[in-house]
């Protein structure tokens, strides 16, 4: 559900911040990291969305635990849910 802003300046500020967000995709399978940070999904709506530094933190925590980390950051505009529904 989209967030509504009464203040247009706040909406513009949030849009500016959101332009740098990424999703994490497994290049071998095409699956996305689930928004919980655990498991995968093929639905963009349920996929993780964050900034590069947050993605790097998830990757480094997986490395510390000794887990495989197959995900690479993909800019959010390349995986827009509206675009995928049209295709």
Contacts 24+ apart (CB under 8 A), 54-59: 55/22, 55/24, 58/24, 58/33
Q: Has residue 75 been placed in a domain? A: yes
Q: Has residue 3 been placed in a domain? A: no
**Which residues make Cβ contacts (< 8 Å) with residue 23, sequence separation at least 6?**
32, 33, 44, 47, 48, 49, 73, 74, 76, 79
pLDDT in tens, 22-77: 999 999 999 999 999 889 999 998 999 999 999 999 999 999 999 999 999 999 87
Max alpha carbon distance in the chain (Å)? Answer: 46
51: Cα separation from own chain's centroid: 8
Give the mean model confidence (pLDDT) for residues 9-17.
75
pLDDT for 53 equals 94
Q: What's the CA gap between 21 and 75, in Å, rounded?
A: 6
Tokens of 24: 């994490």
Q: Has residue 43 been placed in a domain? A: yes
Q: Has residue 1 been placed in a domain? A: no
Q: Has residue 48 been placed in a domain? A: yes
Q: What's the CA gap between 71 and 73, in Å, rounded?
A: 7
Q: Has residue 2 been placed in a domain? A: no
Q: Which domain holds residue 23?
A: 8-86
Q: Has residue 64 been placed in a domain? A: yes
Into how many domains does the chain fold?
Answer: 1
Please check the confidence at residue 86 and state whether its pLDDT lies above 50: no
């Amino acid at each position: 559900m989209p967030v509504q802003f009464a203040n247009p300046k706040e909406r513009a500020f949030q849009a500016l911040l959101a332009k740098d967000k990424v999703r994490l995709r497994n290049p071998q399978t095409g699956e996305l990291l689930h928004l919980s940070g655990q498991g995968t999904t093929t639905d963009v709506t349920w996929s993780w969305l964050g900034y590069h530094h947050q993605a790097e933190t998830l990757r480094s925590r997986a490395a510390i635990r000794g887990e495989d980390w197959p995900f690479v950051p993909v800019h959010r505009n390349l995986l827009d849910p509206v675009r995928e529904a049209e295709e």
